[in-house]
Structure 1
Amino acid sequence: MLSHLPILQVIVPLLAAPACLLLDRARAAWLFACMASLISVVISGLLVFQVHQFGVLSYSLGGWDAPWGIEYRIDVLSAYVLLIVSGIGALMMLAADTAIRLEIPSERQPLFYVLYLLCLAGLLGIVATGDIFNVFVFLEISSLATYALIAQGRDRRALWAAYQYLIVGTIGATFILIGIGFLYSLTGTLNMQDLANRLPALESSATAFTAFAFLMVGVCLKLALFPLHLWLPNAYAYAPSIVTAFLAATATKVAVYLLIRFHFSVFGVGFAASVLPLHSIFLVLGLVGVFVASLVAIQQPNVKRLFAYSSVAQIGYMIIGIGVGTVTGLQATLLHLFNHALMKGALFLALAAVVFRFGSADIRHFAGLGQRMPWTMAIIVIGGLSLIGVPGTVGFISKWYLVLAAFERDWWPLIIAVLLGSLLAVIYIWRLIEVAYFREGEGEVCGEAPLSLLIPTAILALANIYFGIDTRLPIYLSDSAAQMLFGGGL
């Protein structure tokens, strides 16, 4: 059974998704989806252990060995991201039964769980596969499910947000498919390990550079890198709250994983250096994204949109780490994949609790929230402190490594820019704290959200503190992955 873990990681949620349709009652579908999600977490944990013990795991489908057949390939980077995605996916599923109770009619809830598991399976498949065309297939599975999940929102603007994301996502997927087509026409292979072996001999080919450009632009559209981020704020603001929390904590992380995989593993670190200052472009776009998105976030009256723009800024930090072009810079990016999933998962789940009580996440509902929903607001404060990068939280670890990477290159302006970006985060987090603790709320005093929603939210909040103090797991995995990528491993 252990030898089949790479394929089971994807098969379990993929087969569980249509099975949810066979269950008549929403609660039965939720319990079944919870079971599938928890099994996925166990599998990802076992994969991390196996990669640590035995190195890279290769699984050939249908008895056809790579590169002729489809291969699932699990190295330390993919095991790390699988753990993030499955762990967040399971926690969100535990909270989903309560979170969607008032946002999605009961007769449509089994369909919601089908779409959720399809999205989860697609994201896990992107990370697990070693075949570049299968990356596209799983990307489409997760994307189509995501469009439908966003459209489930109560606000009619959710349909427009889903349509907007559909258009942008289709453009991004088309760019990726064109890039894959160019690579196949040039090399005759779709296996990523085989591509990595063949491309160095073809690095002067215009076709290879064209494929690289299409893949980079397509992936950057998917990860909402500034200025290709315009689909993200509406998608996060109008989707059901649990969908927003899940996407914010997983989908963009998988897109960053794809960017790293293509750039470092398939093409190689120095592939485009002779014709394109890629790292400089990443630095500029990352920095501009941090400042512009943070400034826009400060002005948002809707807290879900506020944290949506904050996510664009946080993606900027991840791209800056790649742009630094060192092992420490890449490790900072990989650390932020883990840490940002924890902080945004906690924040958006806490907003789901607010929406459960008030029906929306407008900042006016936060007046007096410190007294009305003290535990929920405490979680928002913890997530906000982590977002700023206060010592003792996971956000500090990410920014500390990013500052270390800039210090290694003697880039003092970048260090100052990172600190200024944190100060902008202080402003929009303080807006929430001021309204919640220093303004009187109107209407009747309400209580906390049900424990079924509050407990998963509290687990993520505590994880923000625990992994901000005991950093061994994320630092070990991110360091191993960064060393592997700069060593040319796959």
Structure 2
Amino acid sequence: MEPNLPVLLIVLPMVAAPLCVLVGNRYVAHVIALMASIGTFAIAMMLMAQVINTGVIRYDIGGWEPPYGIEYVIDSLSAFVILFVSGMAVVTLVYAPDSVDSEIPKSKQTLFYATFLLCVTGLLGMVATGDLFNVFVFLEISSLSSYALISLGRTRRAPLAALQYLILGSIGATFILIGIGLLYQMTGTLNMADIASRIDTTDGPRTMLVALAFLTIGLYVKMAVFPLHTWLPNAYTYAPSAVTIFIAATATKVSVYAFIRLIYGIITPEFAFDILPLDSALRVLALVGIFAASMAAIFQDNVKRLLAYSSVAQIGYMLLGISMNSQTGLTAGIVHMFNHAIIKGGLFMVVGCFAIRLGSVQLSEWKGAGRVMPWTAFAWAIGGLGLIGVPMTAGFISKWLLLTAVLESNRWPVAVLMLISSLLALIYVWRVVETLYFAEPSERVKQATEAPLQMLVPTYFVLSLVIVFGVWTTYSAGLAAEAATMLLGGPTQ
């Protein structure tokens, strides 16, 4: 079985998805989805162990060797991303039942679990494949699943948010497909390693520049890079809580992964950052996004929307690390993908806990809730500290590495702006803390009880990782550093 692990990673959730619908029972569907996700996570851990011990894993679909067949490639970077995507799927499904019961009609819950597994399939496929067109196919599987999941929200604005995401997502996907077509026109192959070996990055045709432009803009939409982020706030706000948890923790991170592969695995950083000024453009977009989104977050009353704008800002930190084009900077960008996944996933879990007991995600209706839901409120404080980047949290590790990379490149103004941006994060995190602990509770809040244990346990598990990986960084920053070293060594797909 071990040689087939890369394809089993994709097949397991893909086969389990229709079973959730066929059984016709929401409880059985949940068990099937959870078991499939646990199996996928176990495969991810085995792949990571194999990569650490023996190096890059290559699997030829159907025995057809590349470039004629589709190849799956698992290296230190893809194994790292696969691990936290599959891990968040498991935690979300453990957390989900009570939240799903309160937010999704019972008749649609089997469809929810099926679509959730398809989303997992798409995201993992994007990371595992070494074929550029396959990246597009899996991107569309995950995107279409996301549109359906978001539309399951309990308000009438959920389908509208899904439609907005569909329109912008389709534009982004079209740009990506055009870019892939242009690269295929130049090279006659879709295998990433083959494309990288055939294109001339120093004196090549102008078509390559156009292809890079299309691919970059398309991925910017999928990553929700400011100002192409407009689909994200509504999508996160009106989707069911379980959907928001998983998508916020994984979807944009996998798109960042695809962008890293494009720059470091195909186009080469020499072409993108030396011949072209893409690094400068990334820094400007990242910094503007960090400040604009953080300022927007400060003035939100809807806590989901607050966290959504925060996510746009955090994507800016990842791009800032990538733009440094250095070992430290790339390590910071990669580890922040993981750290932000657990921090933001945990915070959206907290929002789901408040939503199920208070019936609202409006901050104005959470006044004094820290007195009646102390465990849930304390969980917000832990996640908030990680989001700000307080020492001994995972967020601090990311920002420290990024600050180090910025200072190594003698970009002092960028370092100052980074420190100021952390103060903005402090403001919007503190607004929630102040409301929970220092405001007078309403009669409705006084009648609330603590969140269900089945929701609190996975919430605290995820947020405990914020502390664990803020102190013990061997399997977060260490693996990210190894992945950065591999990427800077040359094309790896």
The question of a shared fold, defined as TM-score above 0.5 by the shorter chain, is answered with yes
Deviation per CA, 1:311-332, whole angstroms, max 9, x where unpaired?
0000011111111221111110
Residues 332 and 398 of structure 1 are in contact (CA less than 8 Å); yes or no, is this contact kept in structure 2? yes
Counterpart for residue 424 of structure 2: 424
Counterpart for residue 190 of structure 1: 190
Counterpart for residue 410 of structure 2: 410
Counterpart for residue 459 of structure 1: 461
Deviation per CA, 1:183-237, whole angstroms, max 9, x where unpaired?
1111000001111111236752111111111111100100000010000000000
Which stretch of the first structure deviates more once superposed, 405-414 or 338-347?
405-414
Deviation per CA, 1:113-134, whole angstroms, max 9, x where unpaired?
0110000000000000000000
Q: Does 1:151 align with 2:167?
A: no
Residues 161 and 235 of structure 2 are in contact (CA less than 8 Å); yes or no, is this contact kept in structure 1? yes
Residues 223 and 255 of structure 1 are in contact (CA less than 8 Å); yes or no, is this contact kept in structure 2? yes
Residues 193 and 491 of structure 2 are in contact (CA less than 8 Å); yes or no, is this contact kept in structure 1? no
Shift of 1:466: 0.7
> Residue 462 of structure 1 aligns to a residue in which SS?
helix
Which stretch of the first structure deviates more once superposed, 44-53 or 320-329?
320-329
Q: Does 1:479 align with 2:481?
A: yes
Counterpart for residue 83 of structure 1: 83
Task: Tell me, in whole angstroms, the C-alpha distance in 1 between the residues paired with 2:193 and 2:238.
Answer: 40
Counterpart for residue 210 of structure 2: 210
- Matching residue's letter, 1:56: V
Counterpart for residue 66 of structure 1: 66
Task: Tell me, in whole angstroms, the C-alpha distance in 2 between the residues paired with 1:458 and 1:308.
Answer: 21
> Residue 14 of structure 2 aligns to a residue in which SS?
helix
Which stretch of the first structure deviates more once superposed, 308-317 or 448-457?
448-457
Deviation per CA, 1:13-46, whole angstroms, max 9, x where unpaired?
0111011011122111001100000111111111
- Matching residue's letter, 1:211: A
Counterpart for residue 247 of structure 2: 247
Deviation per CA, 1:81-116, whole angstroms, max 9, x where unpaired?
000100111100111111111110111100000110
| Pair 1:65–1:365, CA change in 2 (3 A) | same
> Residue 59 of structure 2 aligns to a residue in which SS?
strand
Counterpart for residue 400 of structure 2: 400
- Matching residue's letter, 2:51: V
What is the percentage of aligned positions where both structures have the same residue? 52
Counterpart for residue 133 of structure 1: 133
Q: Does 1:45 align with 2:48?
A: no
Residues 289 and 316 of structure 1 are in contact (CA less than 8 Å); yes or no, is this contact kept in structure 2? yes
> Residue 427 of structure 2 aligns to a residue in which SS?
helix
Counterpart for residue 449 of structure 1: 451
Q: Does 1:19 align with 2:19?
A: yes
> Residue 321 of structure 1 aligns to a residue in which SS?
helix
Deviation per CA, 1:55-88, whole angstroms, max 9, x where unpaired?
1100001110111100001111100000010011
Task: Tell me, in whole angstroms, the C-alpha distance in 2 between the residues paired with 1:389 and 1:94.
Answer: 27
Counterpart for residue 259 of structure 2: 259
Counterpart for residue 313 of structure 2: 313
Residues 209 and 272 of structure 1 are in contact (CA less than 8 Å); yes or no, is this contact kept in structure 2? no
Q: Describe how 1:86-235 pairs up with structure 2 within 5 A.
A: 86-200=86-200, 203-235=203-235
> Residue 102 of structure 2 aligns to a residue in which SS?
coil
TM (norm. structure 1) is: 0.99
> Residue 109 of structure 1 aligns to a residue in which SS?
helix
> Residue 270 of structure 1 aligns to a residue in which SS?
helix
- Matching residue's letter, 1:458: Y
Task: Tell me, in whole angstroms, the C-alpha distance in 2 between the residues paired with 1:249 and 1:460.
Answer: 11
| Pair 1:201–1:328, CA change in 2 (3 A) | closer
Q: 1:468 aligns with which of 445, 467, 470?
A: 470
Residues 304 and 351 of structure 1 are in contact (CA less than 8 Å); yes or no, is this contact kept in structure 2? yes
Task: Tell me, in whole angstroms, the C-alpha distance in 2 between the residues paired with 1:197 and 1:455.
Answer: 49
- Matching residue's letter, 1:484: M
Residues 99 and 241 of structure 1 are in contact (CA less than 8 Å); yes or no, is this contact kept in structure 2? yes
| Pair 1:278–1:148, CA change in 2 (3 A) | same
Residues 202 and 208 of structure 1 are in contact (CA less than 8 Å); yes or no, is this contact kept in structure 2? no
Residues 5 and 47 of structure 2 are in contact (CA less than 8 Å); yes or no, is this contact kept in structure 1? yes
Residues 268 and 491 of structure 2 are in contact (CA less than 8 Å); yes or no, is this contact kept in structure 1? no
- Matching residue's letter, 1:429: V
Deviation per CA, 1:248-288, whole angstroms, max 9, x where unpaired?
10001001000100011111111234653100000000000
Task: Tell me, in whole angstroms, the C-alpha distance in 1 between the residues paired with 2:273 and 2:468.
Answer: 39
> Residue 59 of structure 1 aligns to a residue in which SS?
strand
> Residue 101 of structure 1 aligns to a residue in which SS?
helix
> Residue 102 of structure 1 aligns to a residue in which SS?
helix
- Matching residue's letter, 1:369: A
Task: Tell me, in whole angstroms, the C-alpha distance in 1 between the residues paired with 2:205 and 2:274.
Answer: 12
> Residue 317 of structure 1 aligns to a residue in which SS?
helix
| Pair 1:415–1:201, CA change in 2 (3 A) | closer
Residues 172 and 219 of structure 1 are in contact (CA less than 8 Å); yes or no, is this contact kept in structure 2? yes
Shift of 1:372: 1.2
> Residue 197 of structure 2 aligns to a residue in which SS?
helix
TM (norm. structure 2) is: 0.98
Q: Describe how 1:292-331 pairs up with structure 2 within 5 A.
A: 292-331=292-331
Residues 203 and 271 of structure 1 are in contact (CA less than 8 Å); yes or no, is this contact kept in structure 2? no
Q: CA RMSD in A?
A: 1.0
